[in-house]
Structure formats: C-alpha cells, structure tokens
Structure 1
C-alpha cells in the first residue's frame, strides 16, 4: 500500500504533468491563432536582409514621376507616369535597364498623345499589370485631375507585349460607378480583372470575355481610407491643404486566383476570397464580411505577388521593401533613404524592380512647386534567398 507521503508525491506529479500539458496546449492554440488571425500576425523584423549595396540603379528619368514599373520577359521595363500628378507625356513608356537611349512611348506615340481620337489615346492611367500570356492590362480612369470630374469614360485597355499592339478596350459600365469614382489598381487572373475604385471605395470584377462587371464591397471600411497618407517626409496634403486620403488603390491576386490582396494607400492590407465574386448567390452582406485584415501595413506605394504566393510591398512611410509569405511570415528586405516613395514594384525571377517615385514631392502637393530631386530612379534589388521562407529569421 502507498503511504500518505507517497500519495502526496504522486498527486503533485500528476498535477505538474497536467500543468505542462495545459501550457503546451495553450502554446499550440496561440500559434494556430497567430496563423489565422490577422491581429496576431508576426511583427515585421527590424533588421533588413539586404544591404545598401544590393540596391542598384538601372534607369532614370529627369522629367517624369514614374510611380510603377512592369518587367517584361525580354528584359524591357514598362514605366507608368500618371497624368494626375502633373506628368508630361508619355504616360506609358518602355526602356531597357542600363540603356543609353531614353525610354520610348508605349505602345506608340499616338496612344500617348493627349489630343485626337479618345479611342486611341490614354486619358489617365491609374494601374498596370502583366498576365502570364504576355498581355499588359491598363486601367484608364478617364480622370486626369482627381479634384475634377472625368473627361472620358473609364475603361480597361489590353496591350499584347509581343506585338506592342492594343488588342482590346473594355468600357467600365457607368452603372457600376458612382459620382466621384476613380479607377485605381488592377489585377488579373484568367478571364477576370479586379479593379479598385479609389474615389468611392469599392471593387469591380470584370469578365474579360463578356465585359460584364460586378461591383462589390461598396464603401466598406476595409477599402476606405481611415487616415491620411503618411510618407517619409510627413503627412501628404491635397492641393486644398487638407490631409490626403485615397480609398482602395493597391491590389494583387494570388497565383491560384483564390485570394485578392487590397488596401487603400494608407493601409492596412486586407484579403478577400475571389470565389465570392463568381457565385451569383453571394449577397452584398457576405462580401462585406469576407474582407479580412491580413497585415497592419503602413502606407504603401506598390504591391505585387510572386509565383510562390509571397507578397512584396513598397512601404512609403519608412522607405522599405518587405515580403510576406503564404505562411504569414514577414521579411524585412531593405530600408534605404534612396527609396523615397517606392512605387509599384515588379518581380522578374529573383529580382525586384522598384521605382523611387518621389510622388509626394509632386507640384500638386507643394503649392504648385515641384520638390522632386531629379532624377527619379528605378532600382533593382535581388530578393534574398530567405525572403520566401516560412521560417522567421530574427
């Protein structure tokens, strides 16, 4: 028979074992919660994985604020210089990294001529994206001045990069827009284009075969700017002096087409299941509830996604480039003072191309006087090997 002392010892051993099991259970639950709950996402590391030497200039402009770049498979770079910040033509151009000759209008000079037939020239480009089949899709808002009404209908324009020819123009139905609507970024998967409304928060899903368009997430908080844009130089102010706040602008789609990543300029980043758009039975309420905060980002100037599902974003508040794996592990790639308002970045293989656009230094934000320090530079950054790892390296 066990003595009273032995029984006490045994009881303590059982209690200690139960405590250990409970602690282990709580730890596993907390780790699982961190993997699915946006509020418990892992914080961005402070130490960058790349150094200043890894960031090298490849192309410059002495006259345009280039706010987005697309790397073509043949090595050329398509550059976006939006008219709404006061850029001269061309709005789209193409150049070769390191080339001595300047970029040329893309797809040609006529499309970048501000005069003539509206069906053959850009009015106000707000977003570009490249699909796997080599098609460059362009969002044209028709709003060259955000403080004024549109001067042309909103539309999507497709350029075949193999031939440099415009092959399709898809009008955006006016019924899917509101007074004050301004197309923002664009993402394409298969035969669906997803376009943000940066003027009146919302998201458009456009069937690229039929042109049928569905508006969703209308004025939801996830797509609405809840604070002004905070750049490295401070709060950006509109021409009227008020702090600038722009609704849903940045968008990317996962490689399998199942998820959209979207945010207003100011952040944070949300994700939405695309299946809800293709299901005719999905209610507006279900769509609104589907937007989940994915990461507490700062103001961003660009967002792209790699073939493995890793997100890359350009942080204009800190002048940084960061990545976020499908396993929800953040990687701080680089912070550099040269990255003044890093814009729409593009991934080619293991190389990121990043425009340091200085967009907040445009004349419209400084009482009509440009504060840009020319030239505006496109940089190249080789992605560190660990940047797609689901293991956090401190």
Structure 2
C-alpha cells in the first residue's frame, strides 16, 4: 500500500508505504528503479521494524515522503502505529522514534535525523507532512493540531497555534467515531480525521498554507509564523481563510499558486487556482482514496491511490484492498481551461 510519492530531478521515484491495519508487514520506504522494480530503500535495518522494537533507528510509520531542491529524500516517521488502529503500547512512540529522516537518493545514506523534545512534540502530537523554503522547514502536527517551524541552519524550532481547533483541527461533527459494535458483524468506522494535515508553501516562500482533510484551507505569512517574537495570539489575527475544500487525502501546489486537491469522495483531482474558480483536472474510478501528491520536474502530477477506504479501519469486516496499488501520473499542460499552470515548487 503506497500513499506517498516523490521524485528527484532525474525522476528517481520514491514511495511511502504506511503500516495500515492488515498491512503492518511492509517496508516503509521504497525506490522504483528505471526497469520498474520496486525495492525497499535504503535496504537496511531502517525498513526492518517489527513489534517490540524501539523504532529509534528504523522507520515505524512513515506518513510523508518528499523531495526538495537538493534532491535528497525527506521522510516523516510518526514513530508509532495509528492510534485509531493499534493499542496504546504500539501507537505511543518510544523515545526518539518520532522523527524526520533525510536520505541520499542514490546511496540511501542517512544524512540527517531530526528529533524534537516534549515542548515541540508533547504527548499525542503526530508529525504529519512537511514543506521547505530555503533553510526553513514547516511541518504539520495532525495529532493535537499545530504547526512546527524548524530552522535547519540554526537548529531552532517553534511550535505554533498548538491545539487551536478553529484554525488547525476538525469539529466533532466531522471526526469519525473510534468505537466498534460487538452486536454487528461489521466494524464501525474507527478512522479519526487528522487535524492539521495538508501543507504547502508558495513559490516565493511568503505564504504557508495548511488544512485538515475536511478543510478549510488556511494561510498565514511565513515571516510571522517563523518569528519567535510574535505570539500565537498575534499570529492568529493574521491567519486567513482561503477556501473550503472537498475531503482531501493530499495536495500539491505549483509555482503559479494553483492547488491540486485529491478529492476522495469523487475519485478525482480538483484544481483550485488563486482566483478560487475550481476545475476538475482528472477523474478516474481507480483513484481510490487519492493521497499525498507530487509535481515532478518534468511537470507531471503524481497521485497515489492506496485504497485506504477499503481497509478494516473504515468499517469493512475484512481488508478489501486489491493489488496492484496504483500511482497515477497526470501530464500538466501549460494551461487548462483558461488557467495557466506552473512548475514544481522545490523550496529553493
């Protein structure tokens, strides 16, 4: 099951493989070679985690894979299995297990491992996805709801808007029930809607965008988000509502500010330009649970279809996913229905 995709400038393709219920026995990161072979990456003990391991130097639950301007591979590891699918003993990250890992795309050498203290990642926090501009790394916390800003040059880190449901979370009306029914053959939906999840940054690095899968999409000036002298109360005044969005598993943004949203309910990709006049870019019945997307250097939009809605987590009495798990590639024209489309944002 692949729910994340990213490519280098030479189109080396990397996949994130989550340990969903029924899919716990899997490598977490994979590389697709030129002949189409998919192998565990980096092919060492980093992909050999098993129940009982501390997970400090192995991938436990990779939730995001991304490639920026330097062509290295960044992975977000939540350090524990899903809280809505696993007991507390397996869903609570052991010390040092929740981390961000950067790898050399060719050799698989571990270049950096970022771990944060309890002030940045309190109990219940879950690193979700990340974007970068210059030396600044922006990360969503989908567990408690927060934005995390890390300066890779100075090593300083900020936690922003923590727990502010009105800006980062989902209401109880849109959160799935974690309960099960003993009297019914079918398990009720246990899936818990993440809080701040989707994240993008504008080409010039001036705006940070984020949202829960249920929306809405919001944004704030990065100069305020990363300024330690600006309080959360002051920052909150500058948070803007951008748009309401369909239930979305992932997104991508191009250099023209167009947002490409994975529309789960309708098996399609929605194009949301800065004008706000949305269009349907692509639709296919095989786009089942479309998730974390990526725009390649040669201007293709890659969208994984992991079929997560067919797992037991979403109330199915057994796992109904079927192989193979598809990754869609949509070539982007220079313009679509009157909207000029841009290139990949690399964070440079």
Q: TM-score range by the shorter chain?
A: 0.7 to 0.9
Contact 2:334 2:340 in 1 (8 A): no
Partners of 2:308 and 2:178 in 1: CA distance:
12
Give 2:345's aligned residue.
none
Contact 1:328 1:390 in 2 (8 A): no
Partners of 2:22 and 2:236 in 1: CA distance:
35
Partners of 2:125 and 2:22 in 1: CA distance:
20
Q: Which deviates further from its counterpart, 348-357 or 141-150?
A: 141-150
* 2:61 matches 1:124: yes
Q: CA, structure 1 residues 390+384, in 2 after alignment: closer, same or farther (shift >3 Å)?
A: closer
1:385 to 334, 337, 344: 334
Partners of 1:320 and 1:367 in 2: CA distance:
23
Gaps of 5+ in 2: 181-187, 342-348
* 2:110 matches 1:110: no
Contact 1:329 1:391 in 2 (8 A): no
* 2:93 matches 1:150: yes
2:266 to 309, 318, 331: 318
Work out which structure has the larger RCO, using CA pairs closer than 8 Å and 6 or more positions apart in sequence.
Answer: 1
1:246-265 correspondence runs (5 A): 246-265=194-213
Alpha-carbon shift at residue 367 of structure 1 (Å): 5.6
Alpha-carbon shift at residue 111 of structure 1 (Å): 1.2
Alpha-carbon shift at residue 316 of structure 1 (Å): 0.8
Give 2:323's aligned residue.
374
1:47-196 correspondence runs (5 A): 65-87=1-23, 88-96=25-33, 99-101=35-37, 103-114=38-49, 118-147=55-84, 148=88, 149-153=92-96, 154-196=98-140
Contact 1:333 1:384 in 2 (8 A): no
Q: Give the SS at the match of 1:364.
A: helix
Contact 1:345 1:354 in 2 (8 A): yes
TM-score relative to the length of structure 2: 0.84
Gaps of 5+ in 1: 1-64, 230-234
Contact 1:237 1:365 in 2 (8 A): no
Deviations 1:101-126 (A, max 9, x none): 3x111122321111577443112212
Q: Which has the higher helix share?
A: 1
Q: CA RMSD in A?
A: 2.5
Alpha-carbon shift at residue 368 of structure 1 (Å): 6.1
TM-score relative to the length of structure 1: 0.75
Alpha-carbon shift at residue 239 of structure 1 (Å): 6.2
Greater Rg by CA: 1
Partners of 1:68 and 1:108 in 2: CA distance:
18
Q: Which deviates further from its counterpart, 153-162 or 196-205?
A: 153-162
Contact 1:205 1:213 in 2 (8 A): yes
Q: Which deviates further from its counterpart, 74-83 or 117-126?
A: 117-126
Q: Give the SS at the match of 1:158.
A: strand
Alpha-carbon shift at residue 75 of structure 1 (Å): 2.1
Alpha-carbon shift at residue 355 of structure 1 (Å): 0.9
